[in-house]
A and B are shown apart, each in its own frame.
Chain A
Amino acid sequence: MTGGLLRLLTLRRGGRGWHWTDVASYAYLAVGVLLMFGPVLWLVLSSFKTPSALLEFPPSLLPMAQAEVRVEGYPQPLPLFTVTMEDGSVRELAQVRRIGIAAQMVDPKEPAKTIRVPVDRRTPVRHLAFAVGNYTDPLTQFDFLRYLRNSLVVTVVATLITLLINSMAAYALSVYEFRGKSVAMLGVIGTLMIPITIILAPVYLVVTKLGFVDSLWAVILPGAATPTGVFLLRQYMLTIPRDLIEAARMDKASEWRIYARIVMPLSLPALAVLAIFSVMWRWNDFLWPLAVLTKTEVHTLPIALNAFQGELQTQWHYLLAMTVVTLLPVALVFAFLQRFITSGIANTGMK
């Protein structure tokens, strides 16, 4: 028994046939899939529910809406219910109106006769219905394309700048020996873990003084030089064989050429990882853009979508739907590049 458990810990290449540890592994992974995907799937399903369906308990798995029927003699379509009658029989009735705890109902087949039913004896008849309005309303009501474009511009430009200046610094810190190098390293590593949240007000002050407020530069520039990025790239560049660089110098290549033509291509896996993280950070960034971008024309998606959170009320149905919308690009990028990402991180090893 314990032997089996320990096999689980040590096995690298399995034996023949199905050992129970194989079963346990797959069971673990199956639970993992459920736990990792389930919540997101639940979010997506919930985003298609109407506001009142969102409040239901117990919640239905799929988005449902109440069925309605047209009954002769009534101008509006009436909601349909299953009713348990006094005698225990079950009928499908349409509700005309509800007064207090009694409902006035009518059988669609005999529209002339109304029946009084206590409200707790009826359950709504429901069918699958997607509240697409949660998506279409905000997307048409707002200048979605503009926010999307702003978000894309910020993400792309910031990521390019980040890649360029961080790789340059990493190159300097990994390939050369020069005066002040250890000070520069200390500066990078020392600030590695300072979250922007705690220096928000001073950074705001700097950005204001530079005159960047309400331009996308205010969001792009402050996070462009990331200690994490320099650190990650440098660790990777340290593994590039020195001989390659020396050989290039023999060939009279300029230092810039060595950086751009030798070191950069060889660092692609690490650059890819940094690019992915940069895209994620920028795409999801909320607190900082909220502080510096006040004008509609420079709002990014997260800000625009959070306008559904008022002082006193949150329009959940919109908020959930819009969360799904912001998730989509990340999900797509991931679906296409997941191999690069996962193997990239594994290969850079975060040494």
Chain B
Amino acid sequence: MRRTAWIAGCALALSIVGTVGFASAQAQTTLRMMWYSDGNEGEVMNDLLRRFEDKNKDIKVVLDQVPFKAINETLPVQLASGQGPDLARVTDMGGLAPYLLDLRPHLKDAAYWEQNYGPFLEWMRVPGNTTAIPGYMTQLTVTGPFVNKTLFEQAGVAMPGANATWDDWAKAAKAVADKVQAPFPVAFDRSGHRFFGLAVSQGAKMAEVNGEPQAVDEGFKRAAQLIVDWHKSGVMSKELWGSVSGTAYRGANEEFKNAQVVLYESGSWQTAQFDKTIGDAFDWIAVPTPCGPANCSAMPGGAALVALKTSTHPAEVARLLDYLASEEVAGEFYARTLFVPGHIGLAKKGITYTSASPQAAAALKVFGDAVGKLDPVAYHIQGDPNSRIVFNAAISRLGQVVVNETTLDEAYKRITADVAQQIAERKKKQ
């Protein structure tokens, strides 16, 4: 009795030690890919990786699925301390650019990459660098409005036409909302990126002076004023921009699915989710981004799968990315995840989203077309390595204005100061 207890005890201890000090001897190379998911993209990527492994018996790829918080908040700390995976799916490409690995020497056909991912590669490079190829876009996103068409029909209000302005849409949405008692005539994601979707059309430029972005310009102010006015007049509800603090993201996707939003300014990534959950409840469409005095441009964005300097297997990483970024594989990935392709060739050909309903396919078409109509300024803003700093400062201060904690003028000063201070901190080196 006692002996069996001992043996059991030892076995338990051994297994614990074994688990804790996880180590395994493998002849093949193991690559670690840190990945977050908004929808089914983790599953799809896993599929593709298994297929890659079948063709490359010497490489094993482990997909480490983590919450977005890990990518956004702890990955930078890990990289700063010299730790990190081989690859990661990231959104702050500019901010992480110093940690990204240039795969150019290892890639089979760098020209293919230039040709199809060229404009987006610039987002992943440190300022001044024009050649690095650190990864590819798993997803290109474009901002744009979703409209609840059924609410318009119920209210008997005509939808603004093709080149309608933001004002036209705000008025129409308010009219519809008043008739059908929807609490959100217009909803914007609480995100600096979405705010700039509006600001670019109002003429915001985010010009660089001495390498520092000038966030608050005339266009920016026009957009900020619009947002504040819309909150005052009830076109927008305080619930989104007012309810949380700082840089916290807050979407209105659930409110939209519940038919409480007339026009929802968000982006292409919502399509798959709306397709799945709205079902037959009402008709929804994506419409081209409304116009402002400057243009009718949306904001691009997205997530990239990038190689990291912490990797000790650059050649294997390059082989993996060559496979994943190839037209055929990337095309399958975009099609199955209902993502807008971040691949020029595929974008030109157009992706056939076989798993999408007609509604979703139509929406994706609208977003795909919007890519072609992006203003150069929008590309510049997205690509600026300091853009996230500006986005964050803008959203946290405008959030305070919306709930009357501060005034617009005060907020402009704070945004400028916040941006300057953070850039100064980033520049402090020994």
Contact = CB atoms under 8 A, between A and B. Distances in A.
Asked if A and B touch directly (CB within 8 angstroms), the answer is yes
Interface of A: 51-52, 55-57, 79, 95, 97-98, 100-101, 119-120, 141-142, 149-150, 153, 156-157, 201, 204-205, 208, 213-217, 220, 290-291, 294-299, 303-304, 306-313, 316
Given A101-B154, A291-B77, A306-B67, A220 B20 contact: yes
A307 B277 contact: no
A215 B69 contact: no
A309 B65 contact: no
Contacts of B67: 290, 303, 306-310
Contact of B273 (A149, A153, A201, A313): A313
A259 to B, nearest CB: 21
B414 interface: no
Given A215-B21, A290-B74, A311-B68, A296 B63 contact: yes
B20 to A, nearest CB: 5
Interface in B8-33: 16, 19-22, 32
B70 A290 contact: yes
B283 interface: yes
B68 A98 contact: no
Contact of B85 (A142, A215, A294, A303): A294
A313 B39 CA distance: 8
Contact of B39 (A57, A149, A310): A310
A291 B77 CA distance: 8
22 contacts: A52-B281, A55-B254, A56-B258, A57-B258, A97-B280, A100-B153, A100-B283, A149-B19, A208-B81, A217-B20, A291-B78, A294-B85, A296-B62, A296-B63, A303-B66, A303-B67, A306-B69, A310-B39, A311-B71, A311-B249, A312-B249, A313-B253
B20 A55 contact: no
A312 B273 CA distance: 11
Contacts of A141: 43
A153 B77 contact: no
Nearest to A205: B81
Contacts of B22: 214-216, 297-298
A220 B21 CA distance: 12
A213 B21 CA distance: 11
B39 A55 contact: no
B66 A294 contact: yes
A334 B8 CA distance: 27
Q: How large is the interface on B (under 10, 10 to 19, 20 to 34, 35 or more residues)?
A: 35 or more
Given A100-B153, A310-B37, A313-B39, A290 B69 contact: yes
Interface in B31-48: 32, 34, 36-39, 42-43
B69 A204 contact: no
Given A52-B257, A100-B150, A309-B68, A216 B19 contact: yes
B284 interface: no
Contact of B78 (A101, A157, A294, A297): A294
Interface string B234-262: 00000000000000010101100110000
B279 interface: yes
Q: Which of A100, A120, A201 has the most CB of B within 10 A?
A: A100
Q: Which of B16, B66, B251, B283 has the most CB of A within 10 A?
A: B66
A58 B189 CA distance: 24
Contacts of B70: 290, 294, 303
A74 to B, nearest CB: 14
Q: Which of B68, B149, B251 has the most CB of A within 10 A?
A: B68
B225 interface: no
Contacts of A304: 65
Interface in B246-298: 249, 251, 253-254, 257-258, 269-270, 273, 276-281, 283
Contacts of A149: 19
Contacts, number: 129
Given A208-B82, A290-B67, 5 more contacts: A150-B19, A307-B66, A308-B67, A311-B91, A313-B253
A98 B84 CA distance: 51
A157 B150 contact: no
Contact of A215 (B20, B62, B77): B20
Nearest to A156: B16
A219 B65 CA distance: 19
A217 B20 CA distance: 6
A341 to B, nearest CB: 25
B83 interface: yes
Given A101-B153, A205-B81, A296 B65 contact: yes
B163 to A, nearest CB: 25
Nearest to A200: B77
A132 to B, nearest CB: 18
Nearest to B154: A101
A100 B43 CA distance: 34
A195 B164 CA distance: 53
B54 interface: no
Interface in B76-93: 77-78, 81-85, 91
A142 B303 CA distance: 23
Nearest to B91: A311
B64 interface: yes
A299 to B, nearest CB: 8
A291 B303 CA distance: 21
Given A220-B20, A312-B251, A307 B85 contact: no
B359 to A, nearest CB: 12
B200 to A, nearest CB: 20
A214 B66 CA distance: 13
B36 A310 contact: yes
A98 B81 CA distance: 57
Given A51-B277, A294-B70, A294-B85, A311 B20 contact: no
A290 B254 CA distance: 27
Nearest to A150: B19
A208 B283 CA distance: 53
Given A55-B258, A157-B20, A307-B67, A201 B154 contact: no
Contacts of A101: 150, 153-154
Contacts of B68: 309-311
A113 to B, nearest CB: 21
A215 B17 CA distance: 11
Contacts of A100: 149-150, 153, 283
Q: Which of A119, A156, A312 has the most CB of B within 10 A?
A: A312
Contacts of B257: 52, 55
Contacts of B36: 307, 310-311
A307 B253 CA distance: 19
A29 B162 CA distance: 62
A313 B249 CA distance: 10
B65 A307 contact: yes
Contacts of A150: 19
A293 to B, nearest CB: 9
A153 B13 CA distance: 10
A297 B23 CA distance: 11
A141 B63 CA distance: 13
A295 B32 contact: yes
